[in-house]
Amino acid sequence: MNMYRSHVLVCAGAGCISSECKSVQNALIENININGLSNEVKVVETGCMGPCDLGPVVMIFPDGVFYRKLKPEDTAEIVTEHLLKGKVVRRLLHQAGENSDQAVTFDQLDFFKRQTRIALRNTGIINPESIEEYIARNGYQALGKVLSKHSPQETIDFIKASGLRGRGGAGFPTGLKWEFTARAAAAPKYVVCNADEGDPGAFMDRSILEGDPHSVLEAMAICGYAIGAEKGYIYVRAEYPLAVERLEKAINKALEYGLLGKNIFSTCFNFDIEIRVGAGAFVCGEETALLASIEGKRGEPRPKPPFPAQEGLWGKPTVINNVETWASIPPIILNGPKWFSNIGTNTSKGTKVFALAGKINNTGLIEVPMGTPLREIIFDIGGGIPNGKRFKAVQTGGPSGGCIPEEYLDTPVDYDSLVKLGTIMGSGGMIIVDEDTCMVDLAKFFLEFVQEESCGKCAPCRIGTKRMLEILERIVEGKGKVGDIELLEELSQCIKTSALCGLGQTAPNPVLSTLRHFRDEYEAHIKEKRCPAGTCQALVAYYIDPKACKGCGLCSKNCPAEAISGEKKKPHVIDLTKCIKCGNCKDKCKFNAVFTS
Amino acid sequence: MKTLEELDSLREKLQADMKIREKNNNITVNVSMGTCGIAAGARETMKVLIEEISKQNLKDITLTQTGCTGSCQHEPLVEIKKGADKVTYIKVDRKKAREIVRRHLMEGKVVKEWTILD
Ligand SMILES: Cc1cc2nc3c(=O)[nH]c(=O)nc-3n(C[C@H](O)[C@H](O)[C@H](O)COP(=O)(O)O)c2cc1C
Ligand code: SF4
Ligand code: SF4
């Protein structure tokens, strides 16, 4: 064994990759070599650690010191001061706010402190390309345990007793799904991993696949044993090439170690896994469309029942689960169902991964117990809204979900409480919007998305969402008519009840939900030709408040239309006939003197 | 991989390398590496400690470094902590380092004559 006295973990999640973590890593290695530390210090590339907007981030063990926003130039100091002399480089530490203390180690960050990581237990901590590191963190123990100590039915009972519900959207009890498939008479049976992840703003599945691929493989094999299947498929979108590459490596390593393949753990259980790369159509995430796509057919949904548990892949009984669902399985087997069901709420057990995006300070990936209040997620872990703006709403469940306004921030987040508010958990994407977001425009964004992604098989979805979109477009352009809201509601109900698959059935939800909580914004657009958020271009006019204006001239410098004039140190004015409503002046003014009608 | 026992023993072996990323390590060996420490040969001490600990396949040990602890005349300093117990060795050269691994870390005996009382 070769001992290292320090491990330097470099996050190579998607966020950090886009902030150039690679060059930081290379510079680190170079400096470690220059200082002759390469036999003492090990550099490990990990999957996403979570706090994406702080990237590139590095954690140094044994202490767990957390450095953020690193540049290649910073690495020399980290090596000579920290790694050589044991002195923390304070200027590279994270500080949450002006008045807060610097966090030295990662567990001093509110971001990490409040998390409970089950599905993400290894993501950001291990090298995803090393099966050895996975094994060292109890990897494949759960598979070994069920194969050598438990019957398939006992395995299913574990999952049932844990209360785990599917993390891919609908929240169906996972154990029950396995049991239905196990009991189905036909053979062979199949295990499928849904890694299509089409929701805008969601990236938890990607992070797990890229950061801890073996956890998914192990869980699929456990399910194969439980339901009597020998073959698994992972359906992953082509936009995730790194996930595909790491999965391939992981499968090969697992085969090499005899953890997949024939006679696993010397039993008569055989299991192997193939990857199928999807073209990245949102509807292909819908389970029946996904199965069709694996079979080589067009990725179009079909009516249910029969459910995949009865007639799935090639008409055979199939378990299809989401990536995060899979990643939760091995710890449940190892720690017992009680351990899991003690976390969370009455009807929603365990933890949920959320991807925080939009107008929030700490964008990134977090995992918290079910039932954690929204306020804690958005303000304590997420660090609140940037630039002193007001929180307006959070969109959950992506295009199938809806928004939650401020008055419900203390709601504990679980499957059922979200449904009560007119939205859904979905895959766990949370898009936070502030006072500058127009809710009609937000609804339009999601409707545009589903309209484009509709497979076109059924008329309500194909034509109905198009009609709805046209109405929304009219409203934001100031051409809304009295009666439009009612028409939207009528179309919504009709599409919800008559569309063939989940895509169409949920497509109207963002509209219905914004109507429920922000109806006055729709009315202001239609009746007063006014956009309360001041963002619908056709409806806003920009003005300068002469009392607040200091005459600094920054706005006129940044006005592309030369619409602003005024003497230095005197109030400026905007010529509305020249103004092209780009909003530059409002963004640039340091004195909040520019306002919109 | 034929049996769960085989996986277990492989895991044990691999875990030694990962322990460093958990915070519940049993024993911490701390080499003081201020400029004074390095000048007095702390780098050599560190290297020998790594060598010996790897060679003996010792587990549950975190080897780390701190800055100057203020007793420059005693450098190189090596501090061994287990729970609340702390032993500080002074003027640890290569030979002493090797002995400390053998006697303190492996046999659990403090080498009194090389320590200072805190
Ligand atoms: C339009 C549409 C898109 C979907 N996209 C996904 C997806 O990207 N990933 C996913 O896991 N489930 C997706 N689902 C849900 C799946 O159909 C299915 O319910 C899920 O994969 C089951 O796994 P679970 O029980 O582990 O949640 C989608 C459903 C619909 C209707
Ligand atoms: S609801 Fe939309 S996506 Fe689903 S089958 Fe109909 S047209 Fe296709
Ligand atoms: S930037 Fe603001 S303060 Fe400066 S001239 Fe324009 S409106 Fe006035």
The alpha carbon of A546 and the centre of ligand 3 are apart by a number of angstroms equal to: 9
Specify the pLDDT at position B25.
Answer: 62
Give A6's contacts in chain B (Cβ within 8 Å): 20, 64
How many residues can be counted in chain B? 118
Q: Does the beta carbon of A82 sit less than 6 angstroms from any atom of ligand 1? A: no
Residues of A with a Cβ under 8 Å from any B Cβ are 1-7, 9, 39-40, 61-64, 83-87, 107, 125-126, 132-133, 135-138, 140-141, 144-145, 147-148, 257-259, 264-266
pLDDT of residue B23 exceeding 70, the answer is no
* Surface of B (69-108) touching A: CB under 8 A: none
Report which bound ligand comes closest to the CA of A415: 1
Residues of A in contact with B54 (CB under 8 A): 1-3
Our measurement of the distance from residue A276's CA atom to the centroid of its chain's CA atoms, rounded to an integer in Å, reads 22
pLDDT at A14: 85
By DSSP bridging, strand A58-61 and strand A65-67 are antiparallel
Contact A419, A396 (CB under 8 A): no
Contact (CB<8Å) B7/A135: yes
Q: What is the pLDDT of residue B117?
A: 58
**Least CB–CB distance from B67: residue in A2, A64, A86:** A86
- Residue A497 gets the label, from left (phi > 0), alpha (psi -120 to 50) or beta, of alpha
* Phi, psi at A575, each rounded to 5°: -85, 105
A20: left (phi over 0), alpha (psi -120 to 50) or beta: left
Q: Which of B1, B8, B35 sits opposite A258 (nearest CB)?
A: B1
**Structure confidence at residue A197 (pLDDT):** 93
pLDDT digits (tens, 9 = 90+) for A258-277: 999 999 999 999 999 999 99
Q: Whose CA is nearest to atom 1 of ligand 2?
A: A504
Query: Is the Cβ pair B33, A84 closer than 8 Å?
Result: yes
Nearest to B4 among A126, A145, A258 (CB): A145
Pick from A85, A104, A260, A266 the residue to mutate for testing the B interface (most B CBs within 10 Å): A85
Q: Does B36 touch chain A (CB under 8 A)?
A: no
**Which ligand has the nearest atom to the CA of A282?**
1
Handedness of CA A414, A420, A424, A429 (dihedral sign): negative
**Could you tell me the distance, in angstroms and rounded to a whole number, from the CA of residue A291 to the centre of ligand 1?**
11
Token output for A303: 């009516």
Nearest C-alpha in B relative to A2: B54
The first and second tokens of residue A219, run together, are 């869980």
Residue of A nearest to B37 (CA): A85
| Pocket mutation for ligand 3, best pick of A549, A556, A558, A592 (most atoms within 8 Å of C-beta) | A549
At residue A46, the pLDDT reads 94
A544 lines ligand 3 (CB under 6 A): yes
- Cβ–ligand 1 distance for A159 under 6 Å, the answer no
Q: Are the CB atoms for A588 and A549 separated by under 8 Å? A: no
**Per-residue 3-state assignment (H helix, E strand, C coil) for B53-71:** HHHCCCCCEEEEEECCCCC
Which ligand number lies closest to the CA of residue A399? 1
Cβ within 8 Å, pair A265-B54:
no
Is-contact A203 A243, C-beta < 8 A? no
Top-confidence residue, A398 or B62: A398
CB of A458 shorter than 6 A to ligand 2: yes
pLDDT tens for each residue of chain A, 597 residues long? 577 889 999 999 888 888 899 999 999 999 999 999 999 999 999 999 999 989 899 999 988 999 999 999 999 999 999 999 888 999 999 987 777 788 888 888 888 888 999 999 999 999 999 999 999 999 999 999 999 999 999 999 999 999 999 999 889 999 999 999 999 999 999 999 999 998 888 999 999 999 999 999 999 999 999 999 999 999 999 999 999 999 999 999 999 999 999 999 999 999 999 999 998 789 999 999 999 999 999 989 998 899 999 999 999 999 999 999 999 999 999 999 999 999 999 999 999 999 999 999 999 999 999 999 999 999 999 999 998 899 999 999 999 999 999 999 999 999 999 999 999 999 999 999 999 999 999 999 999 999 999 989 899 999 999 999 999 999 999 999 999 999 999 999 999 999 999 999 999 999 999 999 999 999 999 999 999 998 888 888 889 999 999 999 999 999 999 999 999 999 999 998 899 888 889 889 999 899 887
How many whole angstroms from A487 Cα to the centroid of ligand 2?
A: 21
pLDDT score of A350 = 96
d(CA A100, CA A93): 12
For residue A371, the CA-to-ligand 1 centroid distance in Å is 22
Residues paired with A412 in a beta bridge = A373
pLDDT for A557: 92
pLDDT at A181: 98
Report which of A587, A526, A538, A518 is spatially closest to residue A558, judged by C-alpha positions: A587
Report how far residue A132's alpha carbon sits from residue A126's, in angstroms, rounded to the nearest whole number.
10
Q: Do B17 and A1 touch (CB under 8 A)?
A: yes
Q: What is the pLDDT of residue A265?
A: 95
**Which atom in ligand 3 lies closest to the alpha carbon of residue A588?**
1
Residue B65 has pLDDT above 90, yes or no: no
CA of A550 to the centre of ligand 3 (A): 6
pLDDT above 70 (res B48): yes
Given CB atoms, is B54 within the 8 Å cutoff of chain A?
Answer: yes
Distance of CA A504 from the midpoint of ligand 2 (Å)? 5
Cα distances (angstroms) measured from residue A455 to each of A281, A284, A290, A447, A497: 9, 9, 13, 14, 17
Interface confidence, given as ipTM, is 0.81
Rounded to 5°, the CA angle A233-A239-A243 comes to: 55
Choose between B108 and A431: higher pLDDT: A431
Ligand 1 atom nearest to A287, measured from its CA: 17
* B10 inside 8 A of chain A by CB: yes
Does residue A182 line the site of ligand 3, with CB under 6 A? no
Query: Hey, are the CB atoms on A265 and B66 less than 8 Å from each other?
Result: no
